[in-house]
Every structure is written in C-alpha cells, then in structure tokens.
Amino acid sequence: MFVSYKWLQEYVDLSGITPDELAEKITRSGIEVEGVEVLNEGLKGVVIGHVLEREQHPNADKLNKCLVDIGEENPVQIICGAPNVDKGQKVAVATVGAVLPGNFKIKKAKLRGEESNGMICSLSELGIEGKLIAKEFSEGIFVFPNDVTVGEDALEKLQRDDQILELGLTANRGDCLSMLGVAYEVGAILNREVKLPNPAVRTISEKATDYVQIKVEAKEDNPLYVAKVIKNVTVAPSPLWMQGRLMAAGIRPHNNVVDITNYILLEYGQPLHAFDYDRLGSKEILVRRAKDGEKIVTLDDAERTLTADHLVITNGSEPVALAGVMGGANSEVKADTTTVLLESAYFAGPTVRKASKDHGLRSEASSRFEKGVDPNRVRAAAERAVELLALYAGGEVLDGEAVVDTLNVEPVVISITLEKINRVLGTDISIEEVAGIFTRLQFETTVDNETITVTVPTRRGDITIEEDLIEEVARLYGYDNIPSTLPMGSSTPGYLTTYQQKRRTVRHYLEGAGLYQAVTYSLTSEAKATQYALETREPIKLAMPMSEDRSQLRLSIIPQLLEVVKYNVARQNDSVAVYETGPVFLSNGTDALPDEREHLAGAITGLREQHQWQGEKKEVDFFVLKGILEGLFAKLGLEQKVEYLQAVVEGMHPGRTAELFLAGQKIGFIGQVHPTVQKELDLKETYVFELSLETVFAEEVAPLQYESIPRFPSITRDIALVVEKEKVAGEIESIIVEAGGKLLKDVHVFDLYEGEHMEPGKKSIAFSLKYFDPEKTLTDEEVTKVHEKVLTAVKEKSGAVLRG
C-alpha cells in the first residue's frame, strides 16, 4: 500500500511529524514502512505554460515550434517533438534552469537551427511510470485542464509535492489497505483524533429500486450486495488532484467514474464496480456461481472460461463481471455512458482468491477481498462514491439502494484480565494504560475491576483472541519498554545427543585429516539421483519441479561431491578434498514419508600435500583415502569391526573399489571413480567414499577401559612371504592373527614387492609380528614356538613360501 503523506493529513493531523518520522513510528509499532519516496525528488523549475502558437518546425518534420506563455514577461519559443502538442493547450514546461529526474538540466538550446527555451514535458519526463499514465497521454505530453493558471508550479498541480510511504503489510493487516485504516493506525500511534469523511448526498426522487432488483443465489459467497444508481453522468477526466493521488498510489487514471471507484477503494478499502446501466440490458442483477464452461470477456479484453468455482455478477442471464476480480467488457463505463450502476459488495475471500488464482488476475480489488473487507464499510463507501460522482461527474443520485443483505455482522467481544496481559508480556502495565491504548485504537472498552472487555471494530478482522489484544497493547506500549528477563523455573540440562556428538567428532576428524566440509543440494536430476546409491528405491519426484536439474531427491551424496570437485578443478583448484554429511531419501511409497538416512561421503583428487617444497610430491591414491577412513573408525572405536572387500560398484573402478562391512553389515564403499566417469567430468584420478552414518553410529562401542602399560619387553619377528599375486593381504593377515593366538599382540604389513626379481604371477608381502605377554618377559623359545605355528599355518592355508 502506497500512502500519500499529504492525503493522510485529511484524516489525521500530522503537524510536527515529518514523513520520515512518521515512517519510523509506523514501523516501530507494527507495520513495516519499506520506503519513503519523495515524488518530486530532483525535480525543479516545472511550471504551467500556455501554448499560444504552434507551427511546423521549418527544418524538421517531427518537431513543432511553439510559442509558450510561461507566466513571465514575454512568451518563449520552445521546440517540442510531442505529436499531440497544440495551440491553446495548458502544458507542463521545464523552463531554462529546470532539473528533471536523472539530474537532467534544461538549458537554452538550438534544435535544427531554431532556438528552444525549455521543454514541454510528458508525465514520464516528470518521473511518473509509464503504466500509470492515462492512455491518451501515454505517447505524448500531458495536457492540463483549462482552469489551471499559467506560471503555477505544475508538479504541485499533479500532487507531486508529496511523499509516499510504502507499507509492507503482513497478511493480517488488510485493514491498512485503505487510507482510513492507515488513519486509524496513525491516530492510535500518535494519539490524535481521526476525522472521517462525512458524505453529503442530495438524491432525486426516482428510486434505485425502480431501476434494478438484486438477487443473490450464492449467499455464502456474497452475503451483501448494494447497488446505487446515478443518472445523467458526464464521463470526462477526473479532477487533477484525484488523478495525482491515484498515480501516486500506483493506479492509472481512466475517467471520472472509474477513477472515483478506485479512489474509494483507496480511501475505504472497499472495492467498487461501476457498470454502464444501459449496457447491462436488464433491470436485474443476479449473483450466482458460473456454469462450467461459461465465458466472459473481462475489461482487459481477455476471454475467460469459467467454472462453478467462480462467482459471477449477471444481468439475469449473461455474466457482466467476475465478482470481486474484474468487470466485464460488455458493461464497461465508456465515454458515452450516462447512467451508472454502482456496486458495493462483500465477497467472500476464498471465493475471490480462487477466481483470481485460476485466471492469473490479481487486482487491487481481489487482493482486498481476499484479505477481507470491513462489512460495515460496504454502504459507507457507496455513499461516499455517489457523493463524488455527483460532484465530479455531474450525476444525479437516485434515492435509496437496491440491496440483498444476509450478512450478520456480530462484532468480536473479548474479555481479558490485566494479570494475563502482564503475565504474557512480563510487564507491569496499569489498567489505565491498557484502557488508554484501546481508546487510542478506538476500540470500545469497558473496565470492570481488572478485567477489560473490548468490542473489536469490524475493520480489525485480525483480532479474534486474547493474544491478539495483548499484541495491540504490546506494540503501542512499545517493545522498548518491555523488560529483558530470562525464563524462570526449574533448569533443564542442555546437551548434544550421543549421535550429535559423534557427528561433530566425524566432522572434526575429517577436517583434521584435510577435508573441507561441503554442503550441496538435496534436489538433483533424474540421472544423478540414483547414481552411487547404497540402496535403491523408487525415486522421489517433485510434483512441480522448477527444472530437471532439481527434480528428484538424492539417494547418494557422491554425485553432488563430484560436481563440487569438477567445479573446483575447472577453476585451477587442482587438489580437492571434501566431505559432506547429510540425508539421502528412500521412498516408502506415495504419501508416506521417506526414510531419511544420514550419509557421510567424501571425495579427493590431486596432491596429498600442497605447497610442499621437500620430498616427493605425491598424488592421492586409494590408500590415502582408506587411511583416512581407518583413522575415522579408530576414532569411533570400530576399527576392529570393519572389513574391506573387493567389490564391483557401478561407476567405480572395478579393480580399485572395496565395499565396507561393519560387523558383517554393509555400510558403504570406497574406491576410485571409474576412468570413463572421470573423463566425462574432466577429472584426474578421484577417490570417493560413501557410508551410512546412521548404521555406523548405531554400532555398539565397548566402553573405554584403560589397559595397563606393558611392563615387559615385546619381541618382533618380520617375515616376507611369496604368494600368488591374487592373494590379498587381508586374508593372510587373518591367518596370522588366528594362528598367533593371544601372544601375538600386533601384526602389520610393512612392505609389498611385485618387481622383476619375482617369479611371474607372484608377489612378496612382508609382515611385522609383535609378540608380547603381559605377565612376563617372553623367552626366545616361547616366541619361536608360536612363530613356527604361524609360519606353518600361512604356508598351509595360503600357499605362501617364506622368502629367503
């Protein structure tokens, strides 16, 4: 809602308060003022001029040479390119020295050899948006009515010496979609009186009901319909001040009749519609739901097909308006209209909203009906409109109204205790202060002891419960005056759950290991949604996606991280190490919520260490990433329970991928991205993993127990085993562990050789075995006995040969 500061002064005394101060006060007490626009900012020196002579420019077809009286001693010559400039017009002249928007300074000039002392202006040259300029002047200069005085400030005449407060209204404050609503609000804030218009209408003896009868079939959609009839109207431009106010409020002027309905819409918040009575072609208005497939051509010349969801105004048979949204072309007020039927009605919000949505038509009228108009203003607005029609369109108002009124307006009455107000706000406001606030709001109140009973005016449909009243008190009492306290009562322990703590541990660990945390989108394309999924189910698709790229919910994180890697590599960030924790979505069928599983995924490529000047620069490989995961499982106390088994996973390198099993349950995979995928994404060797974090965290971890520091020395024996190339280290290690029994404290690979000194098809793996007895110092003999057992087992079970 655009609120004119000057116009508002007609209802509330604003003396001593600048527009900026007013904006601040309004914002602080409930309605955000999003901006204050100074309409004539950067504009000066524009006066009313009188075109005394106009002739064709001698050297230019499209230019006119005008002699213009600008209220100075002598008329001046101005060259004007507007097609509609003519002798006798009153026009806006930017005189020499004037400044127009964009700091455009008007100087004396010569145009094609002819002197020009100023510029005759169009409205857009005066800073008015093109869509707000009346059609007849949209292509040329604006022509003023003849009664303006030459030399006067043209901007003042156009109501541009004003400031406009732009209100950002929340859904509940539809009441402020009217000047009167804003006046009540401002009156309450400033504690000043509100002066309402008091229409004085002289009627003729003919009765409106002789001209029209109203019938309403759809009473729920339209509980109140008031029609007034005005005859002998002269359709003409509306007064300049009214056009100025409409433009400042964002509405384009048309003619006096239409402008008056729009003016009342702004003033009262009550949308009105003017029909050309003679074009209605009947003496009946019938309000009903449309028939399926029924058609109407609306004022914007669009033919619209209706359904039974839509409410229409008809002349008894044909629709003449889409109720509350837009009038029909067949009954439009035109230049030759003489009798006007004025509609002022209460249409139900949801009905209007439906029609407005279905037809993509959001009008000033529909947005007000949607939010709910004040039922008690329907007649008042009509009364005010006919007053203006009589004044500015020369109309004669017929006596009375044709009406259907089934509206039962019961004002909301709420009782609240002072104790409750103070308890909710944490304040110590007195009963007098509270009562004073409601008086300022012009809410009728009675105070009984410490209970206040408030009758809420119908204009404030947003107030229905005690809490709404508390808000009114709070905002006018001032939030600054509410103290700052902390909740009292028993204290509660604050903590992270074990799961949440583990998630933080994982993040810190991975970051310590060199990975950056990434956050990517959950929505992805159909192709990517199921790539690399640990578990696949029906993809979950959006009903109305905005693009194919974001149309389905992801079942894995890796495709998103590969995008991140690709993005970075393409921007010279050659070494990338990232991880993400977040949900993947597994469908449980239509209308059931999916399973959201938290996954952990990571991707690395490039150098292990950047900016290294010593030693060899090493690229990341499978074992770098595996080492990171092993460290992670160690951190989570699960390293003994995790197994890595060679596996084939789609999109992964078949020889360099392992599936991970935790206590026998598959939890994810790790490996190199398949070279063809790498190529598609323009990546070098890239390694990824994805784990079901929920499964990992769900695994029971033995409580931490101290193990005594060894008091006796251990004995280490190294062995090198020659085995078939296909034999995997993990298998041999298991054999060693099993055979080593409880004296074997630790075993690990310390070398692998597959070079030229080996027999073809063989490799040598070296293990280091550490023997230890916590009870005593082991003797060589004791170790040898176990070690021999190990060697025998390895030879027998894996066909290994001890390397010399």
Partner 1 sequence: MQERLKELQQEALEAIQKATDLKALNEIRVSYLGKKGPITEVLKGMGKLSAEERPKMGALANEVRDIISANIEEKQQGLEAAAVEAQLASETIDVTLPGRPIQTGNHHPLTRIVEEIEDLFIGMGYTVAEGPEVEQDYYNFEALNLPKSHPARDAQDSFYITDEVLLRTQTSPVQARTMEKHDGKGPVKIICPGKVYRRDSDDATHSHQFMQIEGLVVAENIRMSDLKGTLELFAKKLFGEDREIRLRPSFFPFTEPSVEVDVSCFKCGGHGCNICKQTGWIEVLGSGMVHPNVLEMSGFDSKKYSGFAFGMGVERIAMLKYGIDDIRHFYTNDVRFLKQFQVKE
Residues 138-177 touching partner 1, rule: CB under 8 A, are: 170-173
Binding segment for partner 1 (CB under 8 A), chosen from 59-67, 209-217, 474-482, 793-801, is 474-482
Cβ-based nearer residue to partner 1, 589 or 664: 589
Buried b (16+ CB within 10 A) or exposed e, 671-709: bbbbeebbeebebebbbbbbbbbbbbbebeeeeeeeeee
Is 595 annotated in some ligand binding site? no
Q: How far is the CB of 694 from partner 1 (least distance, A)?
A: 12
Are 667 and 691 contacting, i.e. CB atoms less than 8 angstroms apart?
Answer: yes
Binding segment for partner 1 (CB under 8 A), chosen from 112-120, 312-320, 580-588, 701-709, is 580-588
Distance of alpha carbon 501 from the chain centroid? 33
Residue 585 is a binding residue for partner 1 (CB under 8 A)? yes
Residue 617 is a binding residue for partner 1 (CB under 8 A)? no
Q: How far is the CB of 624 from partner 1 (least distance, A)?
A: 11
User: Which of positions 586-605 make contact with partner 1 (CB under 8 A)?
Assistant: 590-594, 596
Q: Supply φ then ψ for residue 218, to 5 degrees.
A: -95, 80
Q: Enumerate residues 6+ apart whose C-beta is below 8 A from 469.
A: 414, 416, 421, 438, 454, 463
Closest by alpha carbon to 660, among 679, 634, 642?
642
User: How many residues of this chain interact with partner 1, rule: CB under 8 A?
Assistant: 94
Are 409 and 379 contacting, i.e. CB atoms less than 8 angstroms apart?
Answer: no
Of 480, 616, 707, 759, which one interacts with partner 1 (CB under 8 A)?
A: 480
Is 471 annotated in some ligand binding site? yes
Of 526, 609, 639, 680, which one interacts with partner 1 (CB under 8 A)?
A: 609
Cβ-based nearer residue to partner 1, 487 or 761: 487
Lookup result for tokens 């990571």: 602
Residue 628 is a binding residue for partner 1 (CB under 8 A)? no
Q: How far is the CB of 561 from partner 1 (least distance, A)?
A: 9
Residue 364 is a binding residue for partner 1 (CB under 8 A)? no
Q: How far is the CB of 735 from partner 1 (least distance, A)?
A: 36
Q: What is the distance between the alpha carbons of residues 97 and 532, in angstroms, rounded to a whole number?
A: 72
Strand partners, 398: 204
Residue 56 is a binding residue for partner 1 (CB under 8 A)? no
Residue 799 is a binding residue for partner 1 (CB under 8 A)? no
Are 398 and 339 contacting, i.e. CB atoms less than 8 angstroms apart?
Answer: no
Binding segment for partner 1 (CB under 8 A), chosen from 229-237, 396-404, 562-570, 735-743, is 562-570
Of 72, 305, 567, 724, which one interacts with partner 1 (CB under 8 A)?
A: 567
Of 293, 360, 494, 703, which one interacts with partner 1 (CB under 8 A)?
A: 494
> Residues 702, 703, 709, 710: is their CA dihedral positive or negative?
negative
Are 524 and 552 contacting, i.e. CB atoms less than 8 angstroms apart?
Answer: yes
User: Which of positions 412-431 make contact with partner 1 (CB under 8 A)?
Assistant: 423-427
Instruction: Count CB neighbours of 293 within 10 A.
Output: 9
Which ranges in 610-653 belong to alpha helices (H)? Answer: 622-635
Binding segment for partner 1 (CB under 8 A), chosen from 50-58, 110-118, 607-615, 657-665, is 607-615
Cβ-based nearer residue to partner 1, 286 or 470: 470
Is 206 annotated in some ligand binding site? no
Q: How far is the CB of 616 from partner 1 (least distance, A)?
A: 13
Q: What is the CA radius of gyration of the chain?
A: 42
Strand partners, 322: 312, 326
Residue 30 is a binding residue for partner 1 (CB under 8 A)? yes
Q: How far is the CB of 63 from partner 1 (least distance, A)?
A: 44
Of 415, 446, 498, 610, which one interacts with partner 1 (CB under 8 A)?
A: 610
C-alpha dihedral (56, 61, 62, 64), degrees to nearest 10: -10
Q: How far is the CB of 727 from partner 1 (least distance, A)?
A: 34
DSSP element (H, E) containing 604 = strand 595-605
Q: What is the distance between the alpha carbons of residues 53 and 16, in angstroms, rounded to a whole number?
A: 46
User: Which of positions 744-773 make contact with partner 1 (CB under 8 A)?
Assistant: none
User: By rule CB under 8 A, what string of x and - marks binding of each residue 434-473 to partner 1?
Assistant: -------------------------------x-xx-xx--
Q: How far is the CB of 28 from partner 1 (least distance, A)?
A: 6
User: Which of positions 326-355 make contact with partner 1 (CB under 8 A)?
Assistant: 350, 353
Cβ-based nearer residue to partner 1, 19 or 740: 19
Q: How far is the CB of 152 from partner 1 (least distance, A)?
A: 35
Closest by alpha carbon to 432, among 475, 482, 473?
473
Q: How far is the CB of 26 from partner 1 (least distance, A)?
A: 10
Is 468 annotated in some ligand binding site? yes
Residue 553 is a binding residue for partner 1 (CB under 8 A)? yes
Tokens of residue 59, six digits: 């050297």
Distance of alpha carbon 417 from the chain centroid? 38
Of 61, 205, 301, 488, which one interacts with partner 1 (CB under 8 A)?
A: 488
Q: What is the distance between the alpha carbons of residues 167 and 32, in angstroms, rounded to a whole number?
A: 6
Q: What is the distance between the alpha carbons of residues 590 and 457, in angstroms, rounded to a whole number?
A: 47
Instruction: Count CB neighbours of 454 within 10 A.
Output: 25
SS3 417: strand
Q: How far is the CB of 531 from partner 1 (least distance, A)?
A: 18
Residue 208 is a binding residue for partner 1 (CB under 8 A)? no
User: Which of positions 502-531 make contact with partner 1 (CB under 8 A)?
Assistant: 504, 507, 510-523
Closest by alpha carbon to 141, among 197, 91, 88?
91
Binding segment for partner 1 (CB under 8 A), chosen from 446-454, 480-488, 712-720, 750-758, is 480-488
Are 382 and 272 contacting, i.e. CB atoms less than 8 angstroms apart?
Answer: yes
Q: What is the distance between the alpha carbons of residues 84 and 66, in angstroms, rounded to a whole number?
A: 12
Q: What is the distance between the alpha carbons of residues 71 and 48, in angstroms, rounded to a whole number?
A: 8
Q: How far is the CB of 417 from partner 1 (least distance, A)?
A: 12
Cβ-based nearer residue to partner 1, 608 or 656: 608
Of 108, 541, 617, 679, which one interacts with partner 1 (CB under 8 A)?
A: 541
Strands 295-297 and 303-305 turn out to be antiparallel
What is the identity of the amino acid at 92?
A
Of 198, 408, 492, 705, which one interacts with partner 1 (CB under 8 A)?
A: 492
Cβ-based nearer residue to partner 1, 334 or 617: 617
> Residues 270, 275, 280, 282: is their CA dihedral positive or negative?
positive
Of 335, 486, 702, 704, which one interacts with partner 1 (CB under 8 A)?
A: 486
Q: Enumerate residues 6+ apart whose C-beta is below 8 A from 84.
A: 137, 139, 140, 141, 143
Residue ranges for the known binding site are 462, 468, 471-472
Residue ranges of the binding site for Mg(2+): 462, 468, 471-472
